[in-house]
Amino acid sequence: AQSVTQPDIHITVSEGASLELRCNYSYGATPYLFWYVQSPGQGLQLLLKYFSGDTLVQGIKGFEAEFKRSQSSFNLRKPSVHWSDAAEYFCAVGGGSNYKLTFGKGTLLTVNP
């Protein structure tokens, strides 16, 4: 069965600081990996995705993520956080023919001025 672990429930950073959100997955074959963001009162928006190829993927809003097969990880990074990045972030894994995604429990990001 596929699963996702986001070890950090809540992270607080200062505006302008760098950010790394952790994601570990379990999947039997080559996974499809995603990061979504949910701003307060908003729906989920796709930040970036990984299928194959270059293990460093770029997304929207200046985010990037690196796939590390040996560590079963897909961590999300941003070099300099803006106050508008305050939101909840979800990592998801999928694969196979039913296109089912399994989500982590989310990491809430607070940005201090």
Site membership for another protein, residue 11 (CB under 8 A): no
The DSSP line for 86-112 is -EEEEEEEE-SSS--EEE---EEEEEE
Q: Is 27 helix (H, G, I), strand (E, B) or coil?
A: coil
Binding-site string for another protein from residue 55 to residue 94, where x marks contact by CB under 8 A and - marks none: -----------------------------------x---x
Q: Strands 107-112 and 10-14, how do they pair?
A: parallel
Q: Are 35 and 91 in contact (CB under 8 A)?
A: yes
Binding-site string for another protein from residue 18 to residue 47, where x marks contact by CB under 8 A and - marks none: --------------x-x-x-----xxx-x-
Q: Which residues bind another protein (CB under 8 A)?
A: 6, 9, 32, 34, 36, 42-44, 46, 49, 51, 90, 94-95, 98-106
